[in-house]
């Protein structure tokens, strides 16, 4: 089975406190720590496990600048066989549809049975997988927390739905699945593993290589544009307790008692 996994380099929400820049229209990106999107690790792990069971290859792909190569190498250190970097100034400012359009151009050059994405990334939209599938006329399922490969024609897919329930579907191959966290336990990648794949060649392709009209992607093709970042005024928020730990705890216990949380 040939599997393509779409990954993204994103600011790490666990490692950063996000601040606005002095102009107030973008994040202060100077000291941001980036890593591979958390959901994508689950997608790559799932792909590797499928290939371990039924044979085939895992290819990881991303769209970005030179720095995005590091996330491809990380996923190749996990066990992905190939990496592809799609990079072009013309791709900058793409909206979700632009990203899906770029990916579609590369997908059509391959022969993939299964395309995986993370359920969402830094922008929290969860849009690219569903768009890519619709463009390719492949079936799609989001929030996938179970994949059972059963022959070459169909796959059984569990989706996470409300209340912790699971919706089971049967889908024709090829298809696109967006993978939810928790579907597996992504393997650990150490420095040694990254070193092993440091020399592997990763092809870089631009708009011309993909036969893309530059006006259909990037800022030129985007119907949806981010204007600015801001921190909303959410009203008063919590009453923040300060003082020594003992003082804080005394105040807190009093409040818990008054709300019926302690006898």
> Which parts of 113-132 interact with other proteins (CB under 8 A)?
119, 122-131
The answer to whether residue 9 forms part of the interface with other proteins (CB under 8 A) is no
Nearest to 147 by CA among 120, 174, 169, 130: 169
Provide the minimum distance between the beta carbon of 136 and other proteins in the complex, in angstroms, as a whole number: 10
Within positions 147 to 166, which residues make up the interface with other proteins, using CB under 8 A? 156, 158-166
How far is 159 from 166, CA to CA, in rounded Å?
A: 5
Query: Could you say which of 182, 188, 192, 201 contacts other proteins (CB under 8 A)?
Result: 182
Query: Could you say which of 52, 89, 170, 213 contacts other proteins (CB under 8 A)?
Result: 170
How far is 109 from 102, CA to CA, in rounded Å?
A: 12
Asked if residues 197 and 81 have their Cβ atoms less than 8 Å apart, the reply is no
The answer to whether residue 112 forms part of the interface with other proteins (CB under 8 A) is no
Query: Could you say which of 33, 200, 208, 241 contacts other proteins (CB under 8 A)?
Result: 241
Within positions 20 to 79, which residues make up the interface with other proteins, using CB under 8 A? 20, 27
Judged by DSSP in three states, 234 sits in coil
Nearest to 37 by CA among 9, 56, 58, 74: 9
Minimum CB distance to other proteins smaller for 55 or for 151: 151
21 membership: H or E segment, kind and range: none
Within positions 193 to 232, which residues make up the interface with other proteins, using CB under 8 A? 223-232
The pair of structure tokens assigned to 31 is: 């000291």
Provide the minimum distance between the beta carbon of 110 and other proteins in the complex, in angstroms, as a whole number: 19
Q: Could you tell me how far CA 77 lies from the centroid of its own chain?
A: 17
Query: How far lies 84's CA from each of 2, 164, 204, in Å?
Result: 14, 35, 6
To 10 degrees, the CA torsion angle through 154, 136, 37, 51? 30
Provide the minimum distance between the beta carbon of 79 and other proteins in the complex, in angstroms, as a whole number: 20
Within 10 angstroms of residue 23's Cβ, the number of other Cβ atoms is 8
Minimum CB distance to other proteins smaller for 198 or for 231: 231
Minimum CB distance to other proteins smaller for 173 or for 194: 173
The answer to whether residue 11 forms part of the interface with other proteins (CB under 8 A) is yes
Provide the minimum distance between the beta carbon of 61 and other proteins in the complex, in angstroms, as a whole number: 18
Query: Could you say which of 5, 84, 143, 147 contacts other proteins (CB under 8 A)?
Result: 143
Nearest to 117 by CA among 49, 197, 47: 47
Provide the minimum distance between the beta carbon of 10 and other proteins in the complex, in angstroms, as a whole number: 8
**Cis amide prior to 155 (ω within 30 degrees):** no
Choices 58-66, 170-178, 187-195, 206-214; region in contact with other proteins by CB under 8 A: 170-178
Provide the minimum distance between the beta carbon of 261 and other proteins in the complex, in angstroms, as a whole number: 3
């Amino acid at each position: 089975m040939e599997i393509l996994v779409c990954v993204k380099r994103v600011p790490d929400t666990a490692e950063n406190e996000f601040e606005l820049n002095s102009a107030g229209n973008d994040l202060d990106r100077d000291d941001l720590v980036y890593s591979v999107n958390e959901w994508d690790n689950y997608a790559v792990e799932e792909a590797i496990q499928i290939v371990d069971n039924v044979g085939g290859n895992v290819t990881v792909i991303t769209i970005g600048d030179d720095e995005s190569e590091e996330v491809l190498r990380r996923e190749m250190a996990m066990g992905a066989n190939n990496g592809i970097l799609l990079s072009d100034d013309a791709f900058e400012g793409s909206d979700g549809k632009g990203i899906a359009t770029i990916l579609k151009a590369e997908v059509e050059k391959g022969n993939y049975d299964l395309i995986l994405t993370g359920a969402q990334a830094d922008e929290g939209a969860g849009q690219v997988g569903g768009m890519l599938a619709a463009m390719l006329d492949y079936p799609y399922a989001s929030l996938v927390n179970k994949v059972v490969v059963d022959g070459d024609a169909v796959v059984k897919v569990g989706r996470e739905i409300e209340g912790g329930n699971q919706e089971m579907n049967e889908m024709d191959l090829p298809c696109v699945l967006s993978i939810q966290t928790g579907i597996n336990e992504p393997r650990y990648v150490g420095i040694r593993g990254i070193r092993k794949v440091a020399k592997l060649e990763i092809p870089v392709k631009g708009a011309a290589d993909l036969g893309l009209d530059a006006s259909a992607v990037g800022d030129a093709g985007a119907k949806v544009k981010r204007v600015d970042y801001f921190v909303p005024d959410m009203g008063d928020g919590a009453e923040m307790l300060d003082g020594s730990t003992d003082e804080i705890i005394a105040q807190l216990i009093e409040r818990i008692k008054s709300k019926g949380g302690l006898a």
